[in-house]
Amino acid sequence: MKTIELYASGRVQSVGFRACVKKVAGNLGILGDVMNLPDGKVKITATAEDVILEKFVSMLYGCPRAVIRSLEIRETDPVAFPDFSIRRAQDH
């Protein structure tokens, strides 16, 4: 299992992107969360096998109404999540 953090920028807030991310993650059995960030980006944390994560990343571009201009991906320490959830924006 591997955990990655993704930072999506473009038209990714107020277009149903987080709900789409959750649906795609659920279909693939990915655990993690997704949240809007104050700078207009969306942060996704996902835990799954390598091959599943690659499929997940490619499927994000298919979310309707969202336009991903860039997707920054970093590997992080493995995190155990109970499910995949939509989180409220973090207060900084």
Ordered by start, the domain boundaries in the chain are 2-87
Q: What is the pLDDT of residues 22-48, one digit of tens each?
A: 999 999 999 999 999 999 999 999 999
Q: Which of 38, 4, 42 is nearest to 21 (CA)?
A: 42
Mean per-residue pLDDT of the chain: 95
Whole-structure pTM value = 0.94
> Of the listed 11, 18, 27, 65, which one is catalytic?
18
- Residue 91 pLDDT level (bands cut at 50, 70, 90): very low
What is the distance between the alpha carbons of residues 23 and 77, in angstroms, rounded to a whole number?
24
Is position 18 annotated as part of the catalytic site? yes
2-87 fold: Alpha-Beta Plaits (3.30.70)
Sheet holding 84-87, edge to edge: 67-76, 2-11, 42-48, 31-36, 84-87
pLDDT of 89 over the 80 cut: no
Q: Active site residue: 11, 27, 36, 88, which one?
A: 36
C-alpha torsion angle, residues 5, 9, 51, 30 (rounded to 10)? 60
pLDDT band at 90 (very low <50, low <70, confident <90, very high): low
